């Protein structure tokens, strides 16, 4: 039996190299050996205000980017969360066993609700329960994500254990799959803050679809540390972050890159990194441009993905409903 893996990304903005390094790069490898579900989580995206027309386009942008990054729809199931109503259905059922206090302690909720000036909506508060439903519906073994999702996987595990305890064994308790070294890519402008879609400073984030010149400019203007050495060290947060990015895209170890740049300047290292990124992002941009306009092709993949996803999730949902005395 193949392992089941499930993961997702919000279609709320341009995907960036943090999403690639923290999540998608792992997905591309895992799709060969597992039953893989890669979801575009639009129901999560609407927990912050979205323009409806733009959101619809972003869903297709994200599907095209998944494929451009190497997700193969013949191997993995790509689908849109809102096209499988089992997700919000299970989320409701799980809500009824979720301790309120545990949701109040979620750091992402605390951060995001602070940013919502006109009061926080209930969807944002409930976000982790929907995420738990996403994962548990597929009897998932592993969830490949970046480090920022760790707390959400923990609550998912807690809810799975609680459900199984209260109603009898029903859902698999999933494991987070987080790569220590690469699970947290930092902003190029502030190496103490995570690279993020919602960063106010666009220079901090390299988007997968940024053009060659933009990538080169962002790398050239990335902040550096004092000193001149190109080494990964706790007191050299900015250079360490750039080394991590280099290491993922060059598939070399940090030691190899340190050796390559020994005695060279920050400027030389940055030039090498920008060239590397452009070389690796070029085929992604090209593939994206060649498929994004083919809405029929993308829709077919998403329709097939949703239909397969429903065929799996409906079994878990049925069992959960029966156990809870519904239907």
Q: Which of residues 194-223 bind ligand TYM (CB under 6 A)?
A: 194-195
Q: What does the alpha-carbon distance between residue 55 and residue 6 come to, in Å, rounded to a whole number?
A: 22
- Tell me which residue has tokens 């206090």: 101
Can you tell me which of 23, 67, 71, 206 binds ligand TYM, judged by CB under 6 A?
23
Query: Which is catalytic among the residues 75, 197, 271, 280?
Result: 197
The three-state secondary structure class of 201 is coil
The binder of ligand TYM chosen from 35, 61, 83, 134 (CB under 6 A): 134
What residues contact 87, with CB distance under 8 A and at least 6 apart? 43, 81, 130, 133, 134, 137, 313
How many Cα atoms occupy the beta-carbon half-sphere of 302 within 13 Å?
A: 21
Contacts of 30 (CB under 8 A, 6+ apart): 5, 36, 142, 144, 177
User: Residue 316 to residues 89, 140, 171, 193: CA-CA distances in angstroms?
Assistant: 11, 11, 7, 38
Placement of tokens 């940024």 in the chain: 210
The count of other CB atoms within 10 Å of the CB of residue 133 is: 27
Q: Which is nearer to ligand TYM, 115 or 259 (CB)?
A: 115
22 binds ligand TYM (CB under 6 A): yes
20 near 30, Cβ under 8 Å? Answer: no
Candidates 58-66, 114-122, 145-153, 254-262; binding stretch for ligand TYM (CB under 6 A):
145-153
In whole angstroms, the minimum distance from the beta carbon of 263 to ligand TYM comes to: 30
Phi, psi values for residue 143, rounded to 5° = -125, 100
Closer to ligand TYM by CB, 12 or 278: give it.
12
Q: Which of 4, 7, 67, 247 binds ligand TYM (CB under 6 A)?
A: 7
Check if 112 is active-site: yes
User: Which of residues 34, 149, 313, 316 is near ligand TYM by CB under 6 A?
Assistant: 149
Q: Which stretch binds ligand TYM (CB under 6 A): 7-15, 71-79, 95-103, 209-217?
A: 7-15
Q: In the bound complex, which residue of the shown chain has the CB atom lying closest to ligand TYM?
A: 22
- Contact call for residue 21 and ligand TYM (CB under 6 A): yes
Candidates 5, 38, 40, 44: give the one binding ligand TYM (CB under 6 A): 44
194: annotated active-site residue: yes
Residue 73 CB coordination number (10 Å)? 19
Choice between 151 and 164, CB closer to ligand TYM: 151
Task: Tell me what percent of the chain is helix, strand and coil, each rounded to the nearest 5.
Answer: 55, 10, 35
Q: How many residues does the chain have?
A: 327
Instruction: At 54, list the tokens.
Output: 């733009």
SS3 84: coil
Compose the 92-131 pattern: x for residues touching ligand TYM by CB under 6 A, - for all others.
Answer: ---------------------------------------x
- Per annotation, catalytic residue among 75, 112, 172, 271: 112
Q: Kindly tell me which of 153 and 276 has the beta carbon lying closer to ligand TYM.
A: 153
Task: Tell me the three state secondary structure of residue 10.
Answer: coil
| Residue 177 vs 301, nearer CB to ligand TYM | 177
Residue 191 touching ligand TYM (CB under 6 A): no
Torsion of CA 291, 44, 181, 196, to 10 degrees: 80
The smaller minimum CB distance to ligand TYM, of residues 23 and 94, is found at 23
Residue 8 contacts ligand TYM per CB under 6 A:
yes
Write down the least CB distance from residue 195 to ligand TYM, Å: 4
Contact status, residue 244 vs residue 258, Cβ threshold 8 Å:
no
245 and 273 in contact (C-beta within 8 Å)?
Answer: yes
Pick the catalytic residue from 194, 232, 236, 312. Answer: 194
Give residues in contact with ligand TYM (CB under 6 A).
6-10, 18-19, 21-23, 41, 44, 131, 134-135, 143, 145-146, 148-149, 152, 183-185, 194-195
Q: Which residues carry out catalysis?
A: 112, 194, 197
């Amino acid at each position: 039996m193949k392992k089941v893996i499930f993961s997702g990304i919000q279609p709320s903005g341009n995907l960036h190299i943090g999403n690639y390094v923290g999540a998608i790069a792992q997905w591309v490898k895992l799709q060969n050996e597992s039953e893989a579900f890669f979801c575009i989580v639009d129901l999560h995206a609407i927990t912050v205000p979205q323009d409806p027309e733009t959101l619809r386009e972003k869903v297709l942008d994200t599907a095209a980017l998944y494929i451009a990054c190497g997700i193969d729809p013949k191997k993995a199931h790509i689908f849109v969360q809102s096209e499988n109503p089992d997700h919000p259905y299970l989320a409701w059922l799980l809500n009824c066993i979720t301790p309120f206090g545990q949701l109040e302690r979620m750091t992402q909720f605390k951060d995001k609700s602070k940013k919502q000036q006109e009061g926080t909506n209930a969807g944002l508060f409930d976000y982790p329960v929907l995420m738990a439903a996403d994962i548990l519906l597929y009897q998932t073994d592993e969830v490949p994500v970046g480090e920022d999702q760790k707390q959400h996987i923990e609550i998912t595990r807690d809810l799975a254990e609680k459900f199984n305890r209260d109603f009898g064994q029903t859902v698999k308790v999933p494991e987070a799959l987080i790569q220590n070294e690469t699970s947290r890519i930092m902003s190029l402008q502030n190496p103490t803050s995570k690279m993020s879609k919602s960063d106010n400073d666009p220079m901090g984030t390299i988007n997968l679809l940024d053009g060659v010149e933009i990538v080169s400019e962002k790398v050239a203007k990335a902040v550096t540390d004092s000193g001149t050495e190109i080494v990964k060290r706790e007191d050299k947060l900015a250079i360490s972050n750039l080394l991590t990015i280099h290491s993922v895209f060059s598939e070399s170890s940090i030691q190899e890159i340190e050796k390559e740049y020994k005695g060279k300047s920050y400027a030389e290292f940055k030039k090498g990194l920008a060239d590397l990124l452009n070389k690796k992002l070029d085929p992604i941009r090209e593939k994206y441009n060649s498929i994004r306009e083919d809405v029929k092709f993308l829709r077919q993949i998403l329709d097939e993905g949703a239909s397969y996803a429903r065929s799996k999730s409906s079994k878990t949902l049925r069992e959960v409903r029966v156990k809870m005395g519904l239907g």
